[in-house]
Amino acid sequence: MTRPLSVAIAGLGTVGAGVLTMLRQNADLIAARAGRPIAVTAVSARDRSRDRGVSLAGLRWFDDPVALAADAAADVVVEVIGGSEGHARQLVTAALEAGKPVVTANKALLAVHGAELAALAEARGVPLAFEAAVAGGIPVIKALREGLAGNRISRVAGILNGTCNYILTVMRERQREFAEVLGEAQKLGYAEADPSFDVDGIDAAHKLAILAALAFGRPVDFGSVHVEGIRGVSALDIAFAKELGYRIKLLGIARSSEAGIETRVHPCMVPENAPIARVDGVFNAVVAEGDFVGRVMLEGRGAGAGPTASAVVADLIDIARGRVTPVWGAASEALSAAPSVPMSAHVGAYYLRLMVVDRPGVIADVTAILRDAKISLESMLQRGRSPGEAVPVVLVTHETSEAAMRAALERIAAMDAVLEPPTMIRIEAG
């Protein structure tokens, strides 16, 4: 039998332990598909005594994860430590420099340092594989880089963070506020003790930067992603969205146009009959639009031991078979130099919610500001009358520019009859 592929794993948390379990539990099937057995022979983690629910007997243990790069017995290094700096970056860099293939689930590392790591992998002629870095068990990397390789991709959009999708789903289904649902998500283990990376959109932005690089054949550019989270979404906005025929989702959207590449993460109102609007709970979904294939949508679990291990093992099988694809789908000299389009240039429709004092002339003043900014209205909602009290007013615009909308909102917020900062949510087709 062909010699087994020897794997060293750095990080034995949920994902690392899941990879070990899957490789053992499905060993025969994996060996058949890989053309040789795949065996973990070395590991590294911070705590030797912790029970991870999987036997570590017979495995060589490294206290220093970076030392795995120099382990002559290891054919492949799997990095599931996480984080864009520190041991994760040092290990991946050292392994590639040593000519070892690397499999990583680390979206932050790839989003921030993916360009230099891809160049290093190309220079050493070794794979840098990362199916697990975006959308867990959904094979979106392979879909974009290989399955849709003959298409010009015009747009990629998706629900890229299960924590945010869970929170927004529960807020809608139970008419509850963000802070309350976040606390529940933390108790259930769907949200971290410090949820900032998730709820402020950073995790989704890391993933979108990777998807945009693959879709448009351009070096990864995390710094150009516009990022907003979901802290400002209220139960009131979700209720108004339902009345208007929308659902609110945190989407990552990348679009190619003659002007360049637009990348943005923010809450969106999508029509409730759009397929992506129906993706609820902790599930992720990615939609890609190609010139020949049309629209393709992939949906599944975006995190967890099983789905993420599934993606890591798929990369290991490719390496065992000798299948190598350039990191961003093409050699570095063939990558695009398309510029990034600033958020101020975005054009679309908008939902605005204002809390205003119910008195004559207020709506006329608001619409005058919008008129001056050349923003036209599609519809307006105002429920009931409470003279002298605060009432919500909802405005839905036709397509306009982000720059015009921002300028108008600044003037509206300065009105003495507007009692809190206006809420703005962009409207997307889905």
Rounded Cα–Cα distance for residues 19 and 305 (Å): 8
User: Cβ(161)–Cβ(301) under 8 Å?
Assistant: no
Rounded Cα–Cα distance for residues 16 and 11 (Å): 6
User: Cβ(166)–Cβ(304) under 8 Å?
Assistant: no
Nearest CA to 78 out of 311, 320, 312 is that of 312
Rounded Cα–Cα distance for residues 280 and 360 (Å): 41
User: Cβ(87)–Cβ(93) under 8 Å?
Assistant: no
Rounded Cα–Cα distance for residues 313 and 96 (Å): 19
Answer yes or no: 374 catalytic. no
End-to-end Cα separation, the chain, in angstroms: 50
Q: Which of 142, 207, 249, 374 is catalytic?
A: 207
User: Cβ(40)–Cβ(9) under 8 Å?
Assistant: yes
User: Cβ(195)–Cβ(329) under 8 Å?
Assistant: no
User: Cβ(83)–Cβ(2) under 8 Å?
Assistant: no
Rounded Cα–Cα distance for residues 18 and 197 (Å): 23
- Residue 350, classed as helix, strand or coil, is strand
Half-sphere exposure of 74 (CA within 13 A, CB side): 33
Nearest CA to 426 out of 284, 237, 282 is that of 237
The residues carrying an active-site annotation are: 207
